[in-house]
Amino acid sequence: KAGVTQTPRYLIKTRGQQVTLSCSPISGHRSVSWYQQTPGQGLQFLFEYFSETQRNKGNFPGRFSGRQFSNSRSEMNVSTLELGDSALYLCASTKAGGLPGELFFGEGSRLTVL
Amino acid sequence: AQRVTQPEKLLSVFKGAPVELKCNYSYSGSPELFWYVQYSRQRLQLLLRHISRESIKGFTADLNKGETSFHLKKPFAQEEDSAMYYCALKSSGGYNKLIFGAGTRLAVHP
């Protein structure tokens, strides 16, 4: 089975721009979560989607948004980028009926904001 | 507040030595705790869950509610154990929201 796939793997943006990141979960997985990883704050939960509905949200400003499609693929968007948004963005999927807390992570999308 | 603390950024040991990676948590109620591991150039992956009371790759972790700890232990470290280890707590917010500690890098020297 293919793992969680995230695109793009690397990207560079400038302040004020917006960015969209994509995540394809493992086949059959219906839940997708997003995490931000930075050296200062570590891994922080952004949001989780299940069956195209956001069912959990972390403590991030409204500039961070996401959605999930009917095929379980998910996207997250960050608008009006700030320097502090530079981070590794990790996507994780979970299978329905799977072990609680067992997240399958992608390799991440590394965003640099200049 | 729900929080996970890993006090050590780096733990350096020699092959064959015992290893203990510390994790303390703050949580009201019955916590669900996990250890995740990231080997060099690999993805973050689940190592073990407290509820399973299992031993994975020789690692065990016992939940101590009195000390609010969930330390990861291995009696004899191997070089292939070198990795970044994260302790995680399932948030009371439910579903798959995990609160991660800052992580501890384990370096096992020959």
B40-64 mean pLDDT: 90
pLDDT at res. B55: 85
Backbone angles phi, psi at A85, to 5 degrees: -80, -5
pLDDT at res. B95: 77
Domain that holds residue B98: 3-109
Distances, alpha carbon B66 to alpha carbons B4, B30, B99, in Å: 15, 12, 20
For B46, the closest chain A residue by CA position comes to A102
pLDDT at res. A99: 78
Chain B within 8 Å of A68 (Cβ-Cβ)?
no
Residue B110 has pLDDT above 90, yes or no: yes
Considering only CA atoms, which of B96, B51, B94 is closest in space to residue A96?
B96
Cβ separation of A101 and B90 shorter than 8 Å? yes
pLDDT category, B85, cuts 50, 70, 90? very high
Measured CA angle at A98 (ends A94, A103), to 5 deg: 35
CATH number for position B104: 2.60.40.10
Considering only CA atoms, which of B93, B91, B103 is closest in space to residue B33?
B91
Residue B54 has pLDDT above 90, yes or no: no
Residue A54 has pLDDT above 80, yes or no: yes
Cβ separation of A90 and B44 shorter than 8 Å? yes
Considering only CA atoms, which of A63, A73, A55 is closest in space to residue A36?
A63
Instruction: Identify from B96, B99, B104, B105 which residue to disrupt to test chain A contact, counting A C-beta atoms within 10 A and taking the largest count.
Output: B96
Chain B within 8 Å of A40 (Cβ-Cβ)?
no
Q: Which of A8-17, A36-45, B50-59 has the lowest mean pLDDT?
A: B50-59
Three-class DSSP category at B55: coil
A73-85 mean pLDDT: 97
pLDDT at res. B52: 79
pLDDT category, A95, cuts 50, 70, 90? confident
Q: Give the percent of chain B with pLDDT over 70.
A: 99
Give how many domains chain B has, as a whole number.
Answer: 1
| pLDDT one-digit tens code per residue, A21-40 | 999 999 999 999 999 999 98
Cβ separation of B96 and A103 shorter than 8 Å? yes
- Residues of chain A with C-beta less than 8 angstroms from the C-beta of B35: none
CA separation for the pair A33, A47 (Å, rounded): 6
**Mean pLDDT score across all residues of chain B:** 94
For A102, the closest chain B residue by CA position comes to B46
B58-76 mean pLDDT: 94
Whether B57 contacts B85, CB under 8 Å: no
Distance from CA of B98 to the nearest CA of A (A): 7
Residue B87 has pLDDT above 80, yes or no: yes
Distance from CA of B73 to the nearest CA of A (A): 20
Three-class DSSP category at A33: strand
Q: Which of A45-49, B4-8, B28-32, B102-106 has the lowest mean pLDDT?
A: B28-32
Chain B within 8 Å of A39 (Cβ-Cβ)?
no
Whether A81 contacts A21, CB under 8 Å: no
Whether B24 contacts B72, CB under 8 Å: no
pLDDT at res. A6: 98
